[in-house]
């Protein structure tokens, strides 16, 4: 089996999947898609994912190539296909909690800062895109701080990294890009530090991706 991840170095959605692959210890190839030049809207990429987004995980298994899209679907597929170590808890209540934490980010924060959304905000309100993204990051992270604090261990859920941590770490990186003050979120920052000490999180970081721009040229 060969795994190829269509990714962009700073895409938080692709980053989540890179972390998940790392936590699973799965060898994979990174195939960059340059979002800045519109490569996601080329005929070749739209054939992989009609939404024109990343990530896309291509699973080459014998004569079959399976193309998986959307970070949540990809990570849950990985967890079912390669169950050890798990990204989701064994108990029903725990799985519901972890999925909810991930969705706080996936549907409650990240869509507000999606590049196409920010581009449109900038067209409607010149100079307003960054303030828009910062506002919704701050609001969403305040809710996430409260939700994680009640039941966290070393990580978002217990003492092993899992699905919710795959979503938390990229989101805090994004919040810093928009100059959000993270001081009010001590639980999230503590968990982020615990994640940063682990090799899968280190390897998945944008700075270590093959398409990361040369030093001094980061957009």
- Directed axis angle between helix 129-149 and helix 92-106, to 10°? 170
Bond preceding residue 208 cis, omega within 30 of 0: no
Mean pLDDT of the chain: 96
Confidence (pTM):
0.95
Q: Which residue has the tokens 């992270």?
A: 141
Tokens representing residue 13 in the block: 């959605």
The whole-angstrom separation of Cα 113 and Cα 4 is 26
The domain spans of the chain are: 2-84, 92-202
pLDDT (tens digit per residue) in 174-194: 999 999 999 999 999 999 999
The answer to whether domain 92-202 has CATH 1.20.1050.10 is yes
Q: What is the Cα gyration radius of the chain?
A: 17
pLDDT (tens digit per residue) in 123-174: 999 999 999 999 999 999 999 999 999 888 999 999 999 999 999 999 999 9
- The fold of the 2-84 domain, in CATH, is Glutaredoxin (3.40.30)
pLDDT confidence of residue 218:
58
Bond preceding residue 104 cis, omega within 30 of 0: no
The whole-angstrom separation of Cα 208 and Cα 14 is 13
- Please answer whether residues 144 and 168 qualify as being in contact, where contact means their C-beta atoms are separated by less than 8 angstroms: yes
The whole-angstrom separation of Cα 115 and Cα 118 is 5
- Please answer whether residues 80 and 140 qualify as being in contact, where contact means their C-beta atoms are separated by less than 8 angstroms: no
- Please answer whether residues 158 and 89 qualify as being in contact, where contact means their C-beta atoms are separated by less than 8 angstroms: yes
């Amino acid at each position: 089996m060969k795994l190829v991840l269509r990714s962009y170095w700073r895409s938080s959605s692709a980053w989540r999947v890179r972390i998940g692959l790392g936590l699973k210890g799965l060898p994979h190839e990174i195939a960059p898609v340059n979002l800045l030049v519109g490569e996601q809207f080329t005929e070749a990429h739209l054939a992989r994912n009609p939404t024109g987004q990343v990530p896309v995980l291509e699973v080459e298994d014998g004569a079959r190539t399976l193309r998986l899209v959307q970070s949540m679907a990809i990570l849950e597929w990985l967890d079912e296909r390669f169950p050890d170590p798990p990204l989701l808890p064994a108990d029903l209540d725990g799985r519901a909690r972890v999925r909810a934490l991930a969705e706080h980010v996936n549907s409650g924060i990240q869509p507000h800062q999606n590049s196409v959304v920010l581009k449109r905000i900038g067209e409607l309100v010149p100079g307003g895109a960054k303030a828009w993204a910062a506002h919704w990051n701050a609001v969403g992270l305040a809710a996430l701080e409260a939700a994680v604090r009640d039941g966290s261990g070393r990580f978002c859920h217990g003492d092993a990294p899992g699905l919710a941590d795959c979503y938390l770490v990229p989101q805090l990186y994004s919040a810093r890009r928009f100059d959000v003050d993270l001081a009010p979120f001590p639980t999230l920052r503590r968990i982020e530090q615990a994640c940063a000490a682990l090799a899968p999180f280190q390897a998945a970081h944008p700075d270590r991706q093959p398409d990361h721009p040369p030093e001094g040229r980061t957009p």
